[in-house]
Amino acid sequence: MSKMKNFVAKSCLVAVCAFLVMADAEAQRTGRRRGATTPPANTPAETQQQTNNNAQPSGYNPYGNIPIRVDSSGVSDTTVRKSLRNDNAFDKSSVSARTPLTYEHLRADDALFAQKVWRELDLREKMNQPFRYEAESDNGSQMFINMLLKAVNTGQVTAFADDRFSTPMTLPELSQLTVGANDTVPRTDINDPSKVIEYVVTRASFDAKSVIKIRMKEEWVFDRESSRMFCRILGIAPLKTSFHPNGQEKGSSVMFWVYYPDLRPILTKYEVYNPKNMGQSRMTWEELFESRMFASYITKSTLDNAANRTIRGVIKDPILALIEGDNIKDKIFNYEQDLWSY
């Protein structure tokens, strides 16, 4: 009987101990759930920073703790400095009041013939030298590319990424086209050329002289009401030309397109350089384009071009491509002449 009592007492003691252990464990788990907070998930930036910290040793510096200085002195100054006195012997105040002449209205029913033409102006040709005239006036630089950049950067006209004027470009996108690349140059000690004092980060300024070509889009329309051929310029695009190390031209790419009718009021405010007489016969840039006082060659046309390809895309030889461009010009000219009988 006593053995039975001892067995029951031991069983009860073991059960009580097991209950106390389980209760303590449950209390600890409940306390952790109530007192603890879930750690926040790492943001992508923190995850990338942790990855960089794991990939690079602590205190890593690719320049060996040498100071880095940014030099912006090479960036061109675009500030327009106006003359504080009359810089001419005669009054030219009427120049700023010029406005372009209104185009004659062309009806779609009267357009008996219409063809779009793309042409390029090589500014290195003698007739196109006024496009590269380097001078400053009260309205800024007189180089044609600088006029375009000023009009675009100030919001006077809209820059487009295509020749259909369907995709406007933002100012950050334009700034990337008109800035040079960054370059890090070490500056050494005068007394010890092997010792690097600091690294200087420079950025080359945009060189307007690097734009040596301009592309134009125009449409030739024969109006049967007035019985004459009209040529309307639709768009202008500066081309950035790249060269091989030997100086040979590699190719050209369009920087941006500008809708020419939007640009006409601005072009009337700028005068074209005249090497013969700086006083009289100073036409405006709008008059130059309307009078077609420039040299160019055709690079593409919608005439007999079902594949919509450029001339150089079909004819690789540059001389034969120029001859084909002249053939397109003759076809447009002969269409008007063939309508008349003499």
What number is the average pLDDT over the span 288-312?
93
pTM passes above 0.85:
no
Ranked by mean pLDDT, the top range of 8-12, 58-62, 209-213 is 209-213
Q: What angle do CA 156, 274, 298 make, to 5 degrees?
A: 65
pLDDT at 10 over 60: no
Q: What angle do CA 195, 198, 201 make, to 5 degrees?
A: 135
Rounded to whole angstroms, the Cα distance separating 237 from 242 reads 16
pLDDT tens-digit map of 104-118: 999 999 999 999 999
What separation in angstroms does the CA of 159 have from each of 44, 78, 166? 35, 19, 10
Could you tell me the pLDDT band of residue 13, with boundaries at 50, 70 and 90? low
Q: pLDDT higher for 224 or 191?
A: 224
Strands (E), the chain: 68-71, 111-122, 136-137, 140-141, 159-160, 182-188, 196-203, 213-223, 228-243, 249-254, 257-259, 297-301
Rounded to whole angstroms, the Cα distance separating 234 from 218 reads 5
Q: How many CB atoms lie within 10 A of CB 267?
A: 23
pLDDT tens-digit map of 39-98: 455 554 455 445 444 445 555 555 556 666 665 554 445 566 777 777 767 666 666 778
Q: How many CB atoms lie within 10 A of CB 251?
A: 10
Q: What is the pLDDT of residue 72?
A: 55
Could you tell me the pLDDT band of residue 244, with boundaries at 50, 70 and 90? confident
User: Quick check: 215 and 160 in contact, CB under 8 A?
Assistant: no
Which of 185, 162, 306, 146 lies closest to 235, judged by CA? Answer: 162
Please say whether the dihedral angle defined by the alpha carbons of residues 222, 223, 224 and 227, taken in this order, is positive or negative. Answer: negative
Joined tokens for residue 192: 């010890």
